[in-house]
């Protein structure tokens, strides 16, 4: 009696090709998911940074327009507008435990004498922190263009020190440096963003 044997099946070469194709497809899917996540976090970081800069600019512009009184520019560390003092520390990141990086404080009167104190501690009961956590203020300028017309420039930076470089390209960021941009590197770039806003304000009161 003759036995009929069935030798049909996959060869080693065919299995290797199939495994390679599957690995390539899986790699492409993983890369796509990583890119989606990177794009999402980059968009969230950029939006948060822009919103923080806009909040500061809008607050200062409103104070100049409607708060009345003298505009005293006391760089570095404070600006005084009418009955409101803006105190700030450049290039210090706001964390959960480190507060009072840039704040506005209502005062009964505002002048060079009342505005000359810098903030380096917790907020007072009447003060309001204007930065978001993990952001820092890189620039805060108020310049009088002509009588009653002011240009306000605010630059906010999001990101840890290892993601930033100063204007000279130095990555050794300290509070004395001016971190103006994110590093031109892919790793961690989704968690770094800068936003600089400038507006011109006419004093109305």
Count of residues making up the chain: 205
pLDDT tens digits for the chain (205 residues)? 556 555 666 788 888 998 999 999 999 999 898 889 888 989 999 999 999 999 999 999 998 998 877 888 876 788 888 888 888 888 888 886 666 567 777 766 665 444 444 444 445 667 788 888 889 988 899 999 988 899 999 999 998 888 888 877 777 776 666 777 888 877 778 889 999 999 999 988 6
As given in the structure block, the two tokens for residue 10 are 């996959």
Angle, alpha carbons 116-91-103 (nearest 5°): 45
- pTM for this one? 0.77
Residue 100 DSSP symbol: -
**Which residue ranges make up each domain of the chain?**
12-202
Calpha distance 152→127 (Å, rounded) = 21
Calpha distance 93→46 (Å, rounded) = 16
pLDDT number for residue 117: 45
pLDDT number for residue 114: 47
Calpha distance 37→106 (Å, rounded) = 42
DSSP β-ladder status, 193-202 and 149-158: antiparallel
pLDDT number for residue 2: 58
DSSP string of 117-177? Answer: ----SPPPTT-EE-SPTTEEEEEEEEEEEETTEEEEEEEEEES-GGGEEETTS-----TTS
Q: Would you say 92 and 121 are in contact if contact means Cβ atoms under 8 Å apart?
A: no
């Amino acid at each position: 009696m003759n036995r009929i044997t069935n030798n049909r099946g996959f060869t080693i070469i065919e299995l290797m090709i199939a495994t390679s194709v599957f690995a390539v497809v899986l790699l492409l899917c993983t890369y796509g998911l990583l890119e989606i996540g990177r794009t999402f976090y980059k968009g969230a970081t950029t939006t948060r940074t822009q919103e923080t800069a806009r909040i500061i600019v809008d607050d200062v512009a409103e104070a100049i327009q409607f708060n009345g009184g003298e505009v005293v520019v006391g760089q570095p560390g404070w600006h005084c507008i009418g009955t409101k003092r803006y105190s700030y520390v450049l290039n210090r990141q706001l964390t959960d435990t480190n507060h009072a990086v840039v704040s506005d404080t209502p005062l009964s009167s505002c002048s060079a004498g009342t505005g000359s104190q810098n903030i380096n501690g917790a907020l007072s009961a009447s003060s309001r922190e204007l930065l978001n956590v993990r952001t820092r203020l890189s620039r805060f300028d108020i310049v009088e263009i002509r009588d009653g017309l002011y240009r306000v420039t605010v630059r906010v930076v999001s990101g840890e020190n290892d993601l930033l470089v100063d204007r000279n390209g130095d990555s050794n960021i300290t509070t004395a440096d001016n971190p103006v941009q994110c590093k031109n590197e892919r790793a961690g770039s989704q968690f770094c963003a800068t936003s600089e806003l400038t507006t011109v304000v006419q004093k109305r009161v």
